[in-house]
Structure 1
Amino acid sequence: MKTIAAIGVFLVLFSAGKAQAQVDAAAGSAVANSSDPISRLTQTEVPTFPDEVQMTVPPVIERPLGVDEGPRVYVDRFIIQVDGEIANAWRNGAFIDDLQRMFDNRRSTQGPDGMTIGQLEQLTREATDWLRNEGLMVGRVYLPVQTVESGEVTVAVLQGRLGAVEPDGNNMYSSQKLLRPFAALEGQPIDRDAVDRVLRQINDYPGLTATGVFAPGNEVGTTALSLRVRNEKRFNSSIGLDNFGTEFTGEYRARFSTRANNVTGNADFIDFDVLGTQEPDNALFGSFLYSVPLFGPGRNVSFRYQNNDFDITGEAFPNDVVGTTEIYALGYEHVLRQGRDFNASFIAGLAKKNAELEELQLLGPTFLGRDKLTVGSFGVTFDFIDRQAGGINRGSLIYMHGFDDFLGSLLENDPESSRSIPNLGINAGGKFDKWYMNFTRLQRFSDTVTMLLRLEAQQSDDFLVSLEQFSLGGPTSVRAYSPSQFLVDSGAFASVEMIFAAPGFHSKPAFNNRSWGEVLQLSVFYDYAGGYRSDFLDLNRNTLSDDENLDLDGIGIGLRFNPTAQFSARLDAAWPSGGIEPDNGREPQLYFSLNFTF
Structure 2
Amino acid sequence: MSMRKGICAWGGVRCPLALAVAFLLPVYATAQDAAKGVPTPAPSTYQINEYLVRGNTLLGAVDIEKTVEPFLGPGRSMTDVHAARDALQKLYQSAGYQSVVVEIPPQQVKGGVVLLKVSENEIGHVRVVGAKYHSPQAIRDAVPSLAEGTVPNFTNVQQQLTDLNRQPGRQVVPVLSPGSLPQTMDVTLKVDDSNPLHGSVEVDNDHSADTPDLRTIANIRYDNLWQLGHTISASYIVAPQDRSATEVYALSYLAPLSSDWSLLGSGYKSNSNANTLGGTTVLGKGEAFSLQATLQLSALGQYTQSVSFGVSRKHFDQNITLGGETEKAPLTYVPLTLAYTGQHVGEKSTTGFTLAGNFGLRGAGSENSAFDNQRFNARDNFAYLHADFNYSRLFTGDYSLVTRFSGQVADAPLVSSEQFAAGGETTVRGYLSAEETADTGGVGSIELRSPSINAWLGSFANDWRFHAFFDGAHLQLIDPLPGQRGRFTLLSTGVGTRFTVFHYLDGQVEYAYPLRNGVQTKAHDGQLLFSVKAGL
For the superposition of Structure 1 and Structure 2, which TM-score range results when normalised by the shorter chain?
0.7 to 0.9
Q: Does 1:591 align with 2:535?
A: no
Name the structure 1 match of 2:12.
none
Mapped to 1, the partners of 2:157 and 2:140 lie a distance apart of 12
Mapped to 1, the partners of 2:259 and 2:31 lie a distance apart of 47
Name the structure 2 match of 1:202.
164
Q: Does 1:444 align with 2:394?
A: yes
Q: Does 1:304 align with 2:302?
A: no
Q: Does 1:375 align with 2:322?
A: no
Q: Does 1:399 align with 2:351?
A: no
Name the structure 2 match of 1:43.
none
Aligned-residue offset at 1:182: 2.6
Mapped to 2, the partners of 1:79 and 1:594 lie a distance apart of 71
Q: Does 1:522 align with 2:483?
A: no
Mapped to 2, the partners of 1:382 and 1:159 lie a distance apart of 38
Query: Cα deviation per residue 1:70-109 (whole Å; 9 max; x = unaligned)?
Result: xxx88998969574211249xx959x978998x99xxx9x
CA contact (8 A) 1:251 1:280 kept: no
Aligned-residue offset at 1:345: 2.2
Give 3-state SS (helix, strand or coil) of 1:179's partner.
helix
Aligned partner letter, 1:519: D
RMSD: 4.4
Where do residues 282-431 of structure 1 align in structure 2 (5 Å cutoff)?
282-294=245-257, 296-312=258-274, 322-337=283-298, 341-358=302-319, 367-387=327-347, 390-406=348-364, 409-414=365-370, 417-420=373-376, 426=377, 428-431=378-381
Report how many aligned residue pairs link the two structures: 492
Aligned-residue offset at 1:331: 1.8
CA contact (8 A) 2:498 2:507 kept: yes
Aligned-residue offset at 1:556: 2.2
CA contact (8 A) 1:370 1:417 kept: no
Give 3-state SS (helix, strand or coil) of 2:334's partner.
strand
CA gap 1:548/1:80 in 2 versus in 1, 3 angstroms? farther
Query: Cα deviation per residue 1:345-388 (whole Å; 9 max; x = unaligned)?
Result: 2211111011222379xxxx95442232211112222322235x
CA contact (8 A) 2:207 2:214 kept: yes
Query: Cα deviation per residue 1:256-286 (whole Å; 9 max; x = unaligned)?
Result: 1111233333322210111111455421111
Name the structure 2 match of 1:483.
433
Aligned partner letter, 2:479: D
Aligned partner letter, 1:284: E
Mapped to 1, the partners of 2:267 and 2:201 lie a distance apart of 20
CA contact (8 A) 1:74 1:151 kept: no
Name the structure 2 match of 1:179.
140
Percent identity of the aligned residues?
Answer: 19
CA gap 1:416/1:434 in 2 versus in 1, 3 angstroms? closer
1:580 pairs, out of 503, 517, 526, with 517
Name the structure 2 match of 1:24.
none
CA gap 1:529/1:359 in 2 versus in 1, 3 angstroms? closer
1:512 pairs, out of 455, 459, 475, with 459
CA gap 1:457/1:249 in 2 versus in 1, 3 angstroms? same
Aligned-residue offset at 1:197: 1.9
Where do residues 2-151 of structure 1 align in structure 2 (5 Å cutoff)?
83-88=55-60, 136-140=97-101, 144-145=105-106
CA contact (8 A) 2:361 2:380 kept: yes
CA gap 1:254/1:143 in 2 versus in 1, 3 angstroms? farther
Name the structure 2 match of 1:501.
451
Name the structure 2 match of 1:225.
187
Q: Does 1:551 align with 2:489?
A: yes
Aligned-residue offset at 1:576: 3.2
CA gap 1:134/1:557 in 2 versus in 1, 3 angstroms? farther
Query: Cα deviation per residue 1:164-189 (whole Å; 9 max; x = unaligned)?
Result: 54333435443443233333664665
Name the structure 2 match of 1:531.
475
Give 3-state SS (helix, strand or coil) of 2:274's partner.
strand
CA contact (8 A) 1:377 1:400 kept: yes
Give 3-state SS (helix, strand or coil) of 1:198's partner.
helix
Which structure has the greater CA radius of gyration? 1
Aligned-residue offset at 1:448: 1.4
Mapped to 2, the partners of 1:385 and 1:135 lie a distance apart of 24
CA gap 1:596/1:149 in 2 versus in 1, 3 angstroms? farther
CA contact (8 A) 1:276 1:283 kept: yes
TM-score, normalised to structure 2, is: 0.76
Mapped to 1, the partners of 2:138 and 2:371 lie a distance apart of 53
Give 3-state SS (helix, strand or coil) of 1:201's partner.
helix
Aligned partner letter, 1:596: A
Query: Cα deviation per residue 1:494-518 (whole Å; 9 max; x = unaligned)?
Result: 222121214xx67x4543387xxx6
Give 3-state SS (helix, strand or coil) of 2:272's partner.
strand
Q: Does 1:567 align with 2:505?
A: yes
Mapped to 2, the partners of 1:386 and 1:58 lie a distance apart of 37
CA contact (8 A) 2:31 2:102 kept: no
CA gap 1:147/1:346 in 2 versus in 1, 3 angstroms? same
Give 3-state SS (helix, strand or coil) of 1:265's partner.
coil
CA contact (8 A) 2:167 2:229 kept: yes
Mapped to 2, the partners of 1:76 and 1:590 lie a distance apart of 85
Aligned partner letter, 1:85: T
Q: Does 1:242 align with 2:207?
A: no
CA contact (8 A) 1:216 1:222 kept: yes
Aligned partner letter, 1:386: G
Query: Cα deviation per residue 1:316-355 (whole Å; 9 max; x = unaligned)?
Result: 999x974212011122122223687332222111110112
CA contact (8 A) 2:422 2:435 kept: yes
Give 3-state SS (helix, strand or coil) of 1:569's partner.
strand
Mapped to 2, the partners of 1:573 and 1:139 lie a distance apart of 61
CA gap 1:225/1:394 in 2 versus in 1, 3 angstroms? farther
CA gap 1:237/1:100 in 2 versus in 1, 3 angstroms? farther
CA gap 1:242/1:135 in 2 versus in 1, 3 angstroms? farther
Mapped to 2, the partners of 1:136 and 1:450 lie a distance apart of 40
CA gap 1:58/1:487 in 2 versus in 1, 3 angstroms? closer
CA gap 1:381/1:189 in 2 versus in 1, 3 angstroms? farther
CA gap 1:124/1:85 in 2 versus in 1, 3 angstroms? closer
CA gap 1:190/1:564 in 2 versus in 1, 3 angstroms? farther
Give 3-state SS (helix, strand or coil) of 2:510's partner.
strand
CA contact (8 A) 2:34 2:103 kept: no
Worse-matched range after superposition: 132-141 or 252-261: 132-141
CA gap 1:84/1:257 in 2 versus in 1, 3 angstroms? same
Name the structure 2 match of 1:251.
213
Mapped to 2, the partners of 1:419 and 1:482 lie a distance apart of 23
CA gap 1:255/1:99 in 2 versus in 1, 3 angstroms? farther
Name the structure 2 match of 1:18.
none
